[in-house]
Amino acid sequence: MTVRVAWCVRGVVRIPRGVEEGASFLVMPPPGAGTGHGPLRAVGGRHDRSRDASGERRGATTMRPRRCQTGVVSGLRRGRAYIYSPRQPCACDGGAPRTDGACGRIETRHGQAHAEMACAEHTNASFPTEAGTRLATVDALAPTTDHALLASLLERDGAVIVRNFASVNLCARIRADLGPHFDSDRADKSGFFPATTKRAHGVLRHSDAVAELVVRPLFIDVANEMLTSRYTYWEGQRQLSVAGKPQIASIVGFRVEPGGTQQPLHRDDADYHARNCDFPVMLGCVTALTKTTRSNGATVVIPGSHRWGPQRCPRDDEAIPAELDVGDATIFVGNVYHAGGANSTRFVSLALVRGLAVADRPGRDEARETIGVFLCKGTLRQEENSYLVVPPEMAKARGFSPQLLRLLGYGVCPPALGLYEYQDPMKVLFGVDDGETVQR
């Protein structure tokens, strides 16, 4: 895997902590970088006058803001990396995929491969590289909208907008439940979420309204169709086939505040080290709790990017906003590139800069709020630890349905994942013995 340096501050490229000398890197342009943005330079590079074997100066690299480039981390100083770009083309801007390993894997100082982005049969496979330009929209209330239609659109585009996915009333209840969590959120130290994005975690613990949203049949049915894990194997001389349904990976509320920058484009499936042969392992459903627009930070998506190979780097100018009214949702596969958008509605700073009174610009300064329900295959570890969020006693006290308990991960993914005292916890802990209970 190439180290993705997805962000930079005032032209200074920072390498994530833990990267070793000799690692490959790929620099992506900063969100919204325009022609006015100067050349990027490396941290530490400004003072580094040394040259490499080919005579290039290590500092002051010449990466241009609108294109991706690859290189190697060539030095570490006081825990920070300085980098050097050999100005080689990368598949992400249309060049041929590199085969020399500089783009595609992390190498340690000893040259040992850490992780591959592609499985063996896909290493040299050719993948589509084009980005789509629009997202399909369906109405959940239309009689023709069902999970089969959604699955076909998701397979084609990677994402789909669903109008009227949840009622305005349910969204208002969820919004009220999430408010205190947003207010007490702490900044994400990894930089994956900008400091201006407030999150609400562990929300099933407190919110009956969220519990209602999670089991919306349209979403669950399409997830069952796309993420159910089916497997056939031998046990002695008996050939057995099993199927395990998806479960909740995480549920997160997002409030993108005015002035917020765009999140880095990413694939949720990356959490599972998934490669093209595994995709998709997740399905996301982001429901609007407030109106979401291009300017207030609607989720942005690159249609068609779920088909790309490991070398294709996503560009911010390829992402289009999924604009939603309250109750609409964007459903997307875990391998489509997407991100929380930038919120450019910041009012006060504009007013100050232009010398305007705050009252002269009413209606600006909008925070956008959404709730994301992310499911993953039943064979995988959940991103958010459900058993700590809703321990068994709490789940019993809340009267959660067998369906919700299984979505939380309390069921067994057959043949034998998630046993408790070598039995299905649904039976042992919750007294549920139905057609889905695994008998042991």
Ligand X SMILES: O=C(O)CCC(=O)C(=O)O
**CA geometry: angle at 74 spanning 71 and 80, to 5°?**
110
Contact 140, 162 (CB under 8 A): yes
Give the footprint of ligand X on residues 271-290 (CB under 6 A). 286
Which residue lies nearer to ligand X by CB, 11 or 179?
179
Candidate residues 85, 262, 276, 299; the one interacting with ligand X per rule CB under 6 A: 299
Measured from the CB of residue 431, what is the shortest distance to ligand X in angstroms? 36
What DSSP string describes 326-385? TT-EEEEETTS-EEPPP-----HHHHHHHT--GGGSTT----EEEEEEEEE-TTS--SS-
Q: State which residue, 256 or 395, has the beta carbon closest to ligand X.
A: 256
Q: Is residue 161 a contact point for ligand X (CB under 6 A)? A: no
Per the DSSP assignment, residues forming a β-bridge with 331 are 160, 285
Rounded (5°) CA angle 353-355-361: 90
In the bound complex, which residue of the shown chain has the CB atom lying closest to ligand X?
A: 340
Q: Read off the tokens for 95.
A: 């060049």
> Smallest distance, Å, CB 122 to ligand X?
24
Is 338 among the residues that bind ligand X (CB under 6 A)?
Answer: yes
x/- map, 340-359, ligand X, by CB under 6 A:
x-------------------
Binding residue count for ligand X, defined by CB under 6 A:
9
Considering beta carbons, is residue 196 or 247 the nearer one to ligand X?
196
Contact 339, 266 (CB under 8 A): yes
Region near ligand X per CB under 6 A, out of 6-14, 220-228, 332-340, 347-355:
332-340
Binder of ligand X out of 107, 268, 328, 366 (CB under 6 A): 268
- Comparing CB distances to ligand X, the nearer of 269 and 365 is 269
Name the segment binding ligand X (CB under 6 A); options: 49-57, 74-82, 105-113, 333-341: 333-341
Is the Cβ of residue 261 or residue 299 nearer to ligand X in the bound state? 299
Residue 406 CB burial class (10 angstroms; 0-12, 13-18, ≥19): buried
Select 104 or 304, whichever has its Cβ closest to ligand X: 304
Beta bridge partner(s), residue 105: 116
Q: What is the smallest separation between the CB atom of 386 and ligand X, expressed in angstroms?
A: 17
The residue range among 62-70, 124-132, 156-164, 336-344 that interacts with ligand X, by the rule CB under 6 A, is 336-344
C-alpha–C-alpha distance, residues 150 and 155, integer Å = 8
Min dist. Cβ of residue 246 to ligand X (A): 17
Region near ligand X per CB under 6 A, out of 13-21, 71-79, 301-309, 335-343:
335-343
Q: Please choose, from the candidates 373, 426, 377, the residue with its C-alpha nearest in 3D space to the C-alpha of residue 403.
A: 426
93 alpha-carbon distance from chain centroid: 22
Gap between the Cα atoms of 338 and 332, Å rounded = 9
**Comparison of 59 and 340: residue with beta carbon closer to ligand X:** 340
Q: Is 162 a binder of ligand X (CB under 6 A)?
A: no
Instruction: Locate 165 and state its tokens.
Output: 């996915």
Q: Judged by CB under 6 A, does residue 261 bind ligand X?
A: no
Nearer to ligand X, 153 or 289 (CB): 289
Phi, psi of 322 (to 5 degrees): -95, 95
Residue 423 structure tokens: 């039995």
For 388, the token pair is 């700590």
In angstroms, the CA 136 to CA 194 distance is: 28
> CA 310, CA 48: separation in Å to the nearest integer?
33
Q: Which residues of 149-166 are buried (b: 16+ CB within 10 A; e: fewer)?
A: bbbebbeebbbbbbbbbb
Nearer to ligand X, 68 or 282 (CB): 282
Residues 167-206 that bind ligand X (CB under 6 A): none
Between CA 308 and CA 303 the distance in angstroms is 11
Stretch that binds ligand X, among 241-249, 334-342, 375-383, 389-397 (CB under 6 A): 334-342
Comparing CB distances to ligand X, the nearer of 244 and 321 is 321
Q: According to the binding rule CB under 6 A, does residue 254 interact with ligand X?
A: yes
| Token digits of residue 420 | 């408790």
User: Shortest gap between Cβ of 347 and ligand X (angstroms)?
Assistant: 21
Instruction: Report, in Å, the least distance between residue 338 CB and ligand X.
Output: 5
Q: Interface residues with ligand X (CB under 6 A)? A: 254, 268, 286, 299, 338-340, 370, 372
